[in-house]
Each structure stands twice: as C-alpha cells, then as structure tokens.
Structure 1
Amino acid sequence: MGSMLMAGAFGLVAMQVRAESPPTAAEIDWRPKSQLPAQVRDSLPVFCEGGYLPSGEVDGVGGVFGAGEGQQAPLEASGLNARYEIDRELYLQGDVRLRQGAFQVRGSEARYNQADGAVTVQGPLVSRGDGFLLTGERADYNVDSGRFDINTATFLLHGPEMRGSADRLTRLADERVMIRDGMLTTCGPQQNDWALVASDIKLDRAEGYGTARHVRLEILDVPVFYWPWASFPIDDRRKTGFLYPQFGSSSAGSGAFLAAPYYLNLAPHYDATLTPQYIHGRGLFNEAEGRYLSRFGETVLQVGYIGHDSAYAEENPGEQGERWGLDTSTRARFSAGWTGYGDFSAVSDEDYLGDLNRSLEINQTTHLQRKGGVRYQDNQQYFETYLNDYQTVPERIADVDKPYAQLPEILYGGVTELGWLEAGVESQYTMFYRDNENLTGLDRANGQRLRTIPELALPLRTVWGFSRPSVSLDYTRYELEDYTLGDGSFDRTVPVAEWDNGLFFDRQSSLFDVPYNQTLEPRLYYAWADADANQNDIPNFDTDIQTFRFDQLFQPDRFTGGDRVGDTNQLTVALTSRINDLVSGAERARFSLGQVQYFEDREVSLFGEGASTRSRSPLAGEVVLSPIDTLEIRSSGLWDPETGDTEEGRSQLVFHSEDYRYLASVGHTYSRKELEQSDVAAVFPVTDRVSLIGRWVHDSRLDRTVGSLAGIEYNNCCWSVQVVHQNYLTDDQELDSRLLFQIQLKGLGGSGGSSARISEAIYGFDERERRRFGTP
C-alpha cells in the first residue's frame, strides 16, 4: 500500500475525494428523490426533485469551522506515499488526509514545511464537517495560526440547504470564514434560478451572522437588485441589520411600494423592526414594531406614520395628508391562576386600514377595541375586571349606533357543592358610558348596572344519562344618569327554573371492516322564567336577540347582554346520534334535530323585536359528516313545519388532501327574505409546480358577484410566486379590485402579501403555507 507515516503528531483521518472531473460540494451530497431514504423522501414537497444527504463519515464538528481547538492540537497526516526530511519538510502523495483538532481536509498531495508551519494541499480536495462540505483546487494551511486559504472553492451548508462558490475562501479562525467573489443560493445543483452574488462575504459562526459587500440579487444569472452592504443570520440567533427588501403592488389602496426593513436586536428580551418604505403616489411611509418579553409575558407595539400622503390630500381637500395607525397588545401570566391582558388600536382616519396598513394586527373593521384587564380562574370560581372602549372608524355611523364603553366591568362566578346539591352564582357590575350629548330619550342615558344570578341545582349523572333540575333568581339593579322616564334607580327580579335531562344509548357494529360505535342521545329540557313583559323603559346598553340555532334550544333566555330577560314557559325535545370510529377515535358523523314547544306567548321585547305568539319553534337541525380525515360536510338549518318554509340554512363542504396541495370548499347560506349566497373556493394543482387558486361568492337576491379571487401559483424547490386578482365589495356596495402577488425565495423570505388575503378567503390555505415553507 506504499508507505504511511504515523509518528508523534501524525495520524490517520478518513475522508473521500474524487480525482477526475471533481464535482462541486453540492453535487457530492445531492441525491435524486428516488435515491433518498424513505423518511427523507416523504418529507420533501412534491415539486422538489431531490435533496442533500451527507456522504462519508464526519469526525467531530470539523470542516471549515472548528471547535476552538485550532493550532493547540497536533497535526495528523497520512498518505499512500510519503517522503520526510527530519525537522524540515513532509511530502505526501495519494489519498492525502490532514487533521488538526476539528479541522480536516483531504486532497491528492500535500507539502508541510515544519519551519514556518505552512501546509500546501493540491486538489481536488474535500473538507467535510458537521453540516458543512467544502471542495477546491488548491489550499494553503498554517498550522500555527489555523488560517486556511482555498482557491476555486465550492461549499454546501446542510442546515439551510445553501450552496455556493468562491474564487477564494479563507478560514481566518475556528469560527470565522471570508469568501471573496462568492455566490449563495438555496437552489439545487446546476439550477441558478436565483442567487446572491457578493464581492466579500464574512461568516461568523460564533456570533451567528454574516455580512456581505456589493451584493447583487440575480435571477437566472441576470442582476435585478443591488445592496452596497448586507448583514444576514446564518443560524437562528437574532442579529441587528437590514432584512431582505420588500416590494409589491396593488391596483387599489397603496399602489406600488418598496420597503427596506431594519431589525434591531436591542437585548435578549426586547427588539424592534423599523420599515421605511416609499409608496408610489403617496410618499415616504414608516412602520415600526417593538416587542418586549418579560417573565410575565409579551408586549407588542406596532405603529405606522406618513407625514404627507399626497394621494389622500388630493382626494380629501382640506386635509394635510398626515396619517397614522397604532396597535398594541400585551399578555401576562401571573402566579396562582391570575392573568392579564391589554389591547389598544387607533387610526387617524377611516381609510387608513385600506390604504396603508401592512403590519398592524387589525383588519378593516367598524370599531377598534381598547380593552385591558386581569382575570383569575380555578376549578370552582372565576373573577375578571377590565376597561373596554372603542374607536368608531367610519364617520357616517350615527351617535345612537355607537357602542357603549364599559368603565369598568367586573365579573365574578363560582360554584360549590353542598352535599347532593350544587350552589353557584354569576354576577356582573358595569359602568356604561357613551357621549350622548346630541341624543334624547333612553339613548341619552348612562349609568351603572349590577346583575347577579344565584342558582341552586341537583346534578345527577350516570354512564347512561343525566338529570339536572335547578332554580335561579336573575336580579338586576340600575343607577342611571340623564334618564328621562323617571327615577334612574330601579331594579328587576326574574325567577327562573330549568330541568335538563338526557339519556345515552349505544351499540357497536362494523362497516367495511371498520368497527364503529353509534349512539342515540334523546334530550328533554324545560325552562320557565316569569319576567315582566314591560322592560322597554330600560336602556339598551349591550343587549341583542340571539340568533336561533340548535344550541339555543337549551337556553332559557332569547336575549344576550343584561338589559332584557326573556319570559318563557317552554319544553325542548331533541335527539342526537353520533357514529364514532373505534380505530382512530374520530367522530365520523353527527345528526341532531330538535324543537321547542312554547306553552305561553313571549311578551318581552327589545323595542318591538323578540316577542312571539307562536306555540312551536322551527325545527332546528345539524348534520356533520367526516367520512375521511380530509373531508368534512356541515349543514345546519331551521325549517318551519307550520308554513313548510326553510327559515335559514347553512351548508359547507371542505376538502383537503393530506399534504394540503388540494383544497376545495363549497358553501351555501340562506336566510328567508334577507340573504342567499353561494361560495366556491379551490386550490387545484395543474402540475407538480403550477396550481390554480380561485374563489367566487354570488348573491342570488342581488343577482351579482359580491366577491371573487383568481390567481396562479408556481413552486419549485427554491422559489415560488403567486399572482392573484381580487374583487371585493366596499362599504358603498361597489366592487373594487386589486392585484396582489407574493414572491418567496427559499432561505431569504419574500415580498408581497397575497398569502394573507388568500388565507382569509380559502379554508386551509394557512396550513398549506406552513407546510410549504416549513414554518411553525
């Protein structure tokens, strides 16, 4: 086998190299999908043709990055042939292997000058470490300083699947590398769809970041963007510096924009991101986000500001064009069951969210909530107190339709066992306030409301059924100001009785060799409430009529809020049947049907709404089918047996493939005399890389489209693009449109914002994006 030298500081390091037509680092470890292990292959997206798999053994962390040992460790070397001049020079030829500490390299020949500690290695050479592979033609290594220079280098980082090349690569120290005239990309070998090209790149694994000068983004080898300097992370540690620029366009709202986010890693527990951006037709718009993490929880502050929006000033004569938006939230968890929260949102004008907002965690809405409080909860009781107010965004909303603030609201509830009995209480104190200076009558009133509901129940439960009779007293006290119908101090007391009963029957069988369990669950629920019919002398602070659904069959009150308590004398008869898969435990089907029999007319109303003389409610039903894990069919509705009319109906079919490449939903919503809409949405792959995206909402009563979305998506293993055209109904009932797009470069993030809009429109699309980009 020729001669081999292993004496003192010299030993054997096993590595692999090819002598003829040396492949790049990426080509050495690249494997077509068919050659990958099943576990790796199954984790790859369908549009990826292969992946990286380390070949050869890795001894220690090694490679171009070391572990801090450096020149303190002895040099170990071997070769098929060796010539050694004592204390002067070592020459190795054929399968040469060198190692010093965690650094290792393999080449065709090497020459070591002991006098100055210089080692010259001829290629083709390979240096492999933990998650790093390096190749080159020739290298110089200094045993004393640990400096390593390699010419015509290629490299591969397995973690981010990033490959690259360099005219010259230098290891300055165990954890620092400099690349001159280098290129980086996450595309597969021989696939330069995109790449970052820079004159100088420095990687510092000790600090977890890299810097680059004179950086170009190239698409298909064509330069499309330039940065004079850039800083980027090479692991998951945070680093102050510019993030990748964002750009986009929309035919409505903000128009074309270019943004340059800058991240500030201020401390381990707080950071900030500043995003200056130029918007065509509007000017310079700035957004900022700050995050603070304490031992109790996280606080996030987001702000947007533009000093002069030229487009807004032109559309609104007399306005200066200064516009802003703010959103902050905090969540805290204290000890012994206590938590705290706070949310505050505000905008300068009603068009800000549609025109400018990119980062605020608020969508287009009528009222922006400002709420903060604390809460305590254990197994037997809860307590909560908060302040709650709103900014009403559209100026056209009348004062009488603006919501009341709760300053404050205090809630308490608890339950305790008294032998066989169960005693409980629910209570609420609220101070309601609204600027009612321009209002009259009941609408002008502000004041305090105290409501408490003590209850005594006898809960009986076995494996085959349950019975729960109970009695309660619904007491409310008002102390009002600007009340014009008399003394503002008055109260209301309503006795309530309930008796809820249910039985459970089940049987086991099988279908298509799958065992299942079928249940039959009849339920009887009786409720009686003796409420005064005349409650319309009480202001409406927070009350509305509940929408009648199957779940509402088992509630004694038809009103939400506390300003009305409904009178009733009713009996609900309902039946539910479930089919459960005994292998997976999944509920494959649920059928529910019920109806209320009223023994007396309901006289309490909310200013004329909510009273009724009918003796039976519509039949309320629900059907939920999930024959397979990726398909769900839901349908609910109300059918009036007296008139034969369907009062309401909601149906939806939702399907997704296991990998979420295929998405489909079909829905129909019907409300007699009010609304009938059909909704179809889908994401359909035409090929492994091209998918069509669409949604269409049609209103049958208006005989018009009230919303649509159509787009196309292209994916390969290192980049993707979405282009979407959206029509949406504005507040003035007109269809507006916008063109959205998003480009994602694997490893670099992306620009545009079509994914967020599609996720709002198509069920399951957010999960699809998470799987596609591997985000948590």
Structure 2
Amino acid sequence: MLSFVFPAAGQPPDAASIDWRPRAELPPEQQARLPLFCRGGYVSPEVGGEATITGEGGPVNASALSARYEMDTRLLLEGDVRLTQAGTTLTGDSAVYDQASGQVDIAGPMTSRSPGMLLTGDQALYDANSGYFSIEDATFLFHQSEMRGQASFISRPEDQIIHVEGGYLTTCAPDRNDWSLVASDIRLNRAEGYGTAKHVRLQVKDVPVFYWPWASFPIDDRRKTGFLYPTFGTSNTGRGMYLSTPYYLNLAPHYDATLTPQYMHGRGLFSEVEGRYLSPFGESVLQVGYIDDDEEYRKEFPGEDGERWGLDFQSQANFGGGWTGYADYSAVSDNDYLSDLSQTLDISNATQLLRRGGVRYQDDWQMFEAYVAGYQVLTDRNIDPYSQLPEVVYGATVPAGIFELGLESQYTRFDRDNEDLTGLNRAVGQRTRVIPELALPLRTIWGYTRPSVSLDQTWYNLEDYELGDPDFERTVPVVEWDSGIYLDRTTTLFGSDYNQSLEPRLYYVYSDAEEDQDYIPNFDAGLRSFRFDNLFQPNRFVGGDRVGDTNQVTVALTSRFNSLANGAETARFSLGQVFYYEDRDVTLNGRGGGTQSESSYAGEAVLRPLDTLDIRVSGLWDHREHVTEEGRSVLAYHSPDYRYLVSLGHTYSRGTTPDNRFEQMDIGGIVPVTDNISLIGRWVFDSQLDNTVGTLAGLEYNNCCWSFQLVQQRYQTDGEDVEHRVVFQVRFKGLGGSGGTESTLSDAFYGYEQRERQLFGVRP
C-alpha cells in the first residue's frame, strides 16, 4: 500500500546544511556541551516508513505522489519519492524499481539517510538486495564525528564502507572550509573507525599546505595505525631546529607503539619509540631514544663516538588480594642526553634518574613492601646517593582490648661506590629498625585523646666503617599524647548557611635520644620542613639515621566552614606553635638543634568561596622579631567552562643569611578577549636577583573545527644562561594536530589539563 505526501519545493541543500542547527535551536543538553566558540551543531532525525515492497535485503518502504506498476517488471514512482529499507531512507523526485534485479534508479535531487550518516546528490543507484548504492555529485555528513564533505561520486560497496571519489572532507561548520583534506580516492570504514586516502592535500582556506601520497586517519574516537601530524620547532639550546614525523602502530587492543624518527639540525637523525602494554594486572610503558652519530656532541666532546641513547620504563600492576607491584627504571648514555635530545621521555628535567621496583601488600590493619632502588646521577657531584638493595618495610595496627598495638619495621641494605670516599661517607651496610607502640585511643563524638609509648630500636651492621665497632645499636624511648576537641555551630555568612567547627589540639612528645649521633652514617636522613602539617610529628628528622631529642608540646587550633547546602568545605584556618621544655642537641650537618623555648607560629588558610576559585596561604611568623620566615600564597581561578585560567603566586623564605634568602612572584593566565581568541601569559620575578627569571607569552585561537596556539618562552637556567624557545600547536578537530605546547602550558598553568578535556575532549 502506498502513502502519498506533498512534495517539497526547490532543491535541497547539501547534507551538512540539512541537519545543521544554530546554537539557539539545539536541544538544551547539546547546547550545554557546546563551547562558546562553536556556532551550532548537527541533529540527526529518526528514520521510518511503511513496508510496501519486498527485496532480498528485507522489506522496502515506499511512498510517492503517484505510482504506476508495469506487471511483473517495474514500479515507477513520481513526486516526493521515499524508499526505506533496513534503516536506510532514500528520497528523490522520481524512482524506477526493477523487480527482477532489485535495482532502484532515483533521479532528481536525492538524499540517503541511515543512522549517523546523511548523503545527498543529483541521482542515485540503489540495490535493494545487497544494499549497494552509488550517488553522483554527492555531499555527505557523519554526525558522530561531525565530518562532512562532497565528492563527484560516492558509493557504498558493502555495509559500513563508504567510497568517495574526487572529493574532500572537513569537520568545519557548513559554508566555511577553514581546513579540508582533498583526495582523489577516499575510503571510509565506519565499522573499524578509520579512513584511508590517496594523493591527499591538506588545504587551509583552499590553499594547499601539505601533501601525502597516501594517508590513514581516524573518523571516530578509536585508535588507528598511521602517521601522526609532523612536529617541528626551535630552541636556542640543545636541539636547535628539529622536524619529526611520528607513526602510530595500533598493534592490538591491549598494546600499541609510536615510532618518531626526527631530524635535528647539527646532530643528525634521532629516533624515539614508545610502547604501551595493558595486561590484566596493569599497564607498562617503555620509551627509548637512539642516535647513531651525534655530530654536535662529537664536536663538543672530542674523542666521543657520538652514539647516544636513553630509556624510561614504568609499570604498575594489581595482582588482587591487596597485592600490587611497580617498576620504574630510567637510564641515559651521558649527562647531557636529556637536555640535548629527549622530547618524549618523562624525565627531561631530572638531575638523577631513579631505578626502583618492588611489591606491596595492604589490608585494613597491616602493610608490607619490599623493593630495590638505585640512581643514575646526571651531575658532577663527588658523592652518589645510596642504593637500597633491598628495603623491606612492614607495619601493622591491631586492637588489644581497650589498647592498640602498633608496629613499624624496616630493613635496608645501603650500598654505593665508595672507593674514593673517606670517613663516614665510606660506610655501607645494613640497618634494621623496629618501632613497637602501645597506645590507648579514646574517642567520642566531641573529641579524642591518645596517649602512647613507643621504642625506636635501630641496629647497624656496617662495612668500611672507620669510627669503631661496625656493629652497634641505638635505643630511643618515645612518649606521645595527642588530644583534640571538636566543637561546632551553625552560622550565616554572606547570605549562606554554614557549619563552623572549632578544633583545638594539644600534642605532647618526649624523646630520650642520645645527644651525639654524629657517629652514625647518614644513609637517608634529612631535616623535616617546619610547617603546620609537621607540628604533630614525634621526630624532626626524616629517614632512620637521626632521632631527635625533644621535650615539647604543640598547641594548635583549626576552624572549618562547611556549607550546609552540599557539605563542601568552603574555608579552613589553622594556626599552631611548639613550646620546648629542653634544648635540642641532636643535629644533622649542623642543622636541627636549638635552644629557643618556643617556635615560630605556623599557619595555613584555605578558602574556596566559589567552586572555581581556590586561595591558599601558608607560612611561618617569628613573633619575637616580628618577621615572616617563610610564606607561600596561591590564588587560582578558572571559569566554569575553563576558558579563563588565572593564577597569582608568591613564595618567600627569609633564610639564615641575606645570601640564601629566596623570594619569587609569579602571575599567569589564559584570558579570552573574544569568543575565539585568548591571550596566554606568565611572568616570574625573583626579588633577590632583582630580575625576571621566566616569561611566557602567546595567543590561542579556537573555533569549532580547529585551534592554534603560539607561545614564546624564556627562562633562566640554574646558571646565568637564558634559554628561549618558540613552541606552537595546530589542532584539526577529528584529525589530531601538530606541534607541542601541552607540556609547556600544563607546567605553567594550574588547571590546564582540565581545560583541554573540557574544551577539546583530549588529554594532554
């Protein structure tokens, strides 16, 4: 049975224009996802019809203004023809259906619509048995990827395969081709999510800028083997001019690789490879770089052969049952490799490379970890750090009636090359440390108290020790009493309701450590930084080779403001001070001792008046001299859509002398000046040097089909040298991009990675 509808007047527009809607006409949920610099989007209507003809491919739905049967041969349809079969709908001015062959010839301006795809053209040939169709002078649109284009001829030789001859494609909005890929032959595989093309030109505003004899590219979010866009840039140090052409290998669903051959001016051909492997237990990543003959390196270091390499391996595994494993191993051929060559290794700013691997177990009451660790040092220091070969750590906390039993234990063998060392620096060997604890934890809804007694017992079994018996021990009893009260009330500030807490805390610690511990080698000890979080630690040293003598009490107060509407913490203020009842005699390299009876005030404030604004202030204030010893202030703001990123920072350390005083100020931001253009800038000023030590300036252009970033960076290295470089990035929506501003900008701006995901749906 045929149904008849009135014909549409005039010639239909191209495929993209049919389903394009301005921003104001899109569904509300689609508008909310659309960045401000996008003018609109595509809407795909449902496909439907009535069954009137039967072919081998399934029922064919047909409608027209008039129809005429030629008995057992043909069906002729005239006026607003509509044919639907297996989710595909074709429309035209007229159609002839051959019953014997199942072939349908459609004339006049026609369209073909299937889920996620729309095609238009002058005329079409459709096979109702196989689903094959061909369209002349065609246009096309894929809704999911927002990819559109036109061609002299389009065909569908099989399901999910589209063949485009003499055409182009782009993801730009209708009526503007800011960029396009033009090719003599394009094959789109919708089932696999990729396309291939022959004799491809990348055109910007109809101007050819790049040519490939053959190219493969994604048409959705799935990974695909093929060339990535080339990267090139320049720097006044290390690399100079460089050009790279990455090639991505999608080897299997659980592993892939990226090969990056690149030419560096003055150095030669340098290649990097990154491999990623995903197992049922976790993920592993291996990165390797190699150059056979670095010409610039041979000139700088006569006698060297110029062969250079670097690698970085990282792995994380979850074995289940509380067991995990990890490995992190980095190595380079020479100290200058990272600054001269590396572009993909995640270790480019390191001065020493960690090699560490181990296993870890944790449940509700105990923890176990065993690992080995070592380092490759990239500076000309005389003494290398110790390796741990191995280190084994075990800790547990168990209830025992009203008491709580705790245990911390550690065994480590420390080793390093000590052939040219003397004194305590020459010592290597084993250290075993056990700290049992007995505590009485008492808690109520309004507060808690926890007195405890522990015994810090350490045994040393050393080699190459020159100060006496290499086997000795140290025993330090420690008494702690930690107490706190929780008080709260409801209050109203600036028209909003809050729960305000008042949390006084009293922490006492007594450690009967021997005053002189300078006979003990320093394998891993350091002085703990003095800040609010560390006011409640029993030992002012980190590591296991120094235990501080102390008799002190910490008095602190914290107040929090939590919104009654959503429970979020809007503000937190904390202030504390330590009172010493005895002098501190144990030192490490002359630091850590003291005779004053009270410490400076340590405080911090965290405010989040808006979901998009964070303000953090911390510092130390010496009330005796009325001076600030240390301070750090940070203000970070981002707009809800992350187009605005603004940060202000100030860091200050008074130091012990004017020569080691440190003070820096920085301000940075990414600020849009129009819907499409944003300015990028950051400035770092060192007050002690009375000099700018870093600047970053650039601009960003965005529209819905491409973006461009150009950034000039200048910064002072550890010496007085100044490095400057120009980096850029061009991103074509749906095809990726070239250049590399991500690492530079993500290091400079808090929230940059969230901004990339929000605006572009990508992860830097």
Contact 1:110–1:120 under 8 Å retained in 2: yes
Q: Secondary structure at the match of 2:610?
A: coil
**How far apart are 1:148 and its partner, in Å?**
0.8
| 1:397 pairs with 2:381 | yes
Match of residue 229, structure 2, among 212, 236, 244: 244
Instruction: Tell me which residue corresponds to 1:351.
Output: 336
Match of residue 368, structure 1, among 353, 378, 381: 353
Structure 1 pair 207/740, CA: closer, same or farther in 2 (3 Å)?
A: closer
Match of residue 121, structure 2, among 133, 136, 159: 136
**How far apart are 1:70 and its partner, in Å?**
8.8
Work out the CA distance in 1 between the residues paired with 2:8 and 2:726: 51
Measured against aligned partners, the alpha-carbon deviations of 1:635-678 in whole angstroms (never above 9, x if no partner) come to 11111122222111111111111111111111111111320111
Q: Secondary structure at the match of 1:312?
A: helix
What is the one-letter code of the residue matched to 2:381?
A: I
Instruction: Tell me which residue corresponds to 1:406.
Output: 388
Instruction: Tell me which residue corresponds to 1:743.
Output: 730
Instruction: Tell me which residue corresponds to 2:658.
Output: none
Match of residue 692, structure 1, among 679, 696, 704: 679
RMSD: 1.9
Instruction: Tell me which residue corresponds to 2:652.
Output: 670
Q: Secondary structure at the match of 1:626?
A: strand
Work out the CA distance in 1 between the residues paired with 2:645 and 2:71: 73
Q: Secondary structure at the match of 1:349?
A: coil
Measured against aligned partners, the alpha-carbon deviations of 1:29-66 in whole angstroms (never above 9, x if no partner) come to 11111222222112111111111122x43249xxxxxx
Match of residue 754, structure 1, among 727, 731, 741: 741
Work out the CA distance in 2 between the residues paired with 1:144 and 1:712: 55
Measured against aligned partners, the alpha-carbon deviations of 1:477-509 in whole angstroms (never above 9, x if no partner) come to 001110011111000000000000111111112
Instruction: Tell me which residue corresponds to 1:41.
Output: 31
Matches within 5 A, 1:328-339: 328-339=313-324
Structure 1 pair 111/370, CA: closer, same or farther in 2 (3 Å)?
A: same
Q: Secondary structure at the match of 1:627?
A: strand
Measured against aligned partners, the alpha-carbon deviations of 1:115-166 in whole angstroms (never above 9, x if no partner) come to 4433210121111111111111111123344321101111111101111111
Match of residue 470, structure 1, among 440, 452, 476: 452
Contact 1:386–1:409 under 8 Å retained in 2: yes
Instruction: Tell me which residue corresponds to 1:452.
Output: 434
Structure 1 range deviating more: 83-92 or 194-203 = 83-92
**How far apart are 1:291 and its partner, in Å?**
1.6
Q: What percentage of aligned pairs have identical amino acids?
A: 61
| 1:774 pairs with 2:761 | yes
Instruction: Tell me which residue corresponds to 1:63.
Output: none
Instruction: Tell me which residue corresponds to 2:591.
Output: 609
What is the one-letter code of the residue matched to 2:481?
A: W
Q: Secondary structure at the match of 1:334?
A: strand
Work out the CA distance in 2 between the residues paired with 1:381 and 1:255: 53
Work out the CA distance in 2 between the residues paired with 1:17 and 1:429: 86
Structure 1 pair 169/18, CA: closer, same or farther in 2 (3 Å)?
A: farther
Q: Secondary structure at the match of 1:767?
A: helix
Match of residue 640, structure 2, among 655, 658, 662: 658
Structure 1 pair 284/199, CA: closer, same or farther in 2 (3 Å)?
A: same
**How far apart are 1:551 and its partner, in Å?**
1.4
**How far apart are 1:102 and its partner, in Å?**
3.2
Work out the CA distance in 1 between the residues paired with 2:85 and 2:27: 33
Matches within 5 A, 1:266-285: 266-285=251-270
Work out the CA distance in 1 between the residues paired with 2:299 and 2:540: 50
What is the one-letter code of the residue matched to 1:78?
A: S
Structure 1 range deviating more: 451-460 or 298-307 = 298-307
Work out the CA distance in 2 between the residues paired with 1:58 and 1:281: 61
Structure 1 pair 555/375, CA: closer, same or farther in 2 (3 Å)?
A: same
Contact 1:303–1:325 under 8 Å retained in 2: yes
What is the one-letter code of the residue matched to 2:441?
A: P
Match of residue 108, structure 2, among 123, 132, 141: 123
Work out the CA distance in 1 between the residues paired with 2:742 and 2:4: 50
Work out the CA distance in 2 between the residues paired with 1:217 and 1:18: 37
| 1:230 pairs with 2:201 | no
Match of residue 717, structure 2, among 730, 738, 749: 730
Unmatched tracts of structure 2, length 5 or more: 656-660
Structure 1 pair 81/524, CA: closer, same or farther in 2 (3 Å)?
A: same
Contact 2:641–2:759 under 8 Å retained in 1: no
| 1:78 pairs with 2:87 | no
What is the one-letter code of the residue matched to 2:102?
A: G
Structure 1 pair 52/680, CA: closer, same or farther in 2 (3 Å)?
A: same
Work out the CA distance in 1 between the residues paired with 2:672 and 2:256: 40
What is the one-letter code of the residue matched to 2:47?
A: V
Match of residue 46, structure 2, among 45, 48, 57: 57
Unmatched tracts of structure 1, length 5 or more: 1-5, 61-68
Contact 1:75–1:99 under 8 Å retained in 2: yes
Q: Secondary structure at the match of 2:755?
A: helix
Instruction: Tell me which residue corresponds to 2:409.
Output: 427
Match of residue 15, structure 2, among 25, 35, 53: 25
Contact 1:577–1:592 under 8 Å retained in 2: yes
Structure 1 range deviating more: 128-137 or 380-389 = 128-137
Instruction: Tell me which residue corresponds to 1:66.
Output: none
**How far apart are 1:621 and its partner, in Å?**
1.1
**How far apart are 1:251 and its partner, in Å?**
4.2
Measured against aligned partners, the alpha-carbon deviations of 1:719-762 in whole angstroms (never above 9, x if no partner) come to 11111111122232322111111111111111111121111011
**How far apart are 1:17 and its partner, in Å?**
8.2
Matches within 5 A, 1:299-338: 299-338=284-323
Contact 1:741–1:753 under 8 Å retained in 2: yes
Work out the CA distance in 2 between the residues paired with 1:656 and 1:372: 38
Q: Secondary structure at the match of 1:757?
A: helix
Instruction: Tell me which residue corresponds to 1:65.
Output: none
Instruction: Tell me which residue corresponds to 1:265.
Output: 250
Q: Secondary structure at the match of 2:229?
A: coil
Work out the CA distance in 2 between the residues paired with 1:116 and 1:592: 84
What is the one-letter code of the residue matched to 1:380?
A: W
Instruction: Tell me which residue corresponds to 2:502.
Output: 520
Contact 2:183–2:200 under 8 Å retained in 1: yes
Matches within 5 A, 1:142-181: 142-181=127-166
Structure 1 pair 416/336, CA: closer, same or farther in 2 (3 Å)?
A: same
Instruction: Tell me which residue corresponds to 1:708.
Output: 695
Contact 2:196–2:217 under 8 Å retained in 1: yes
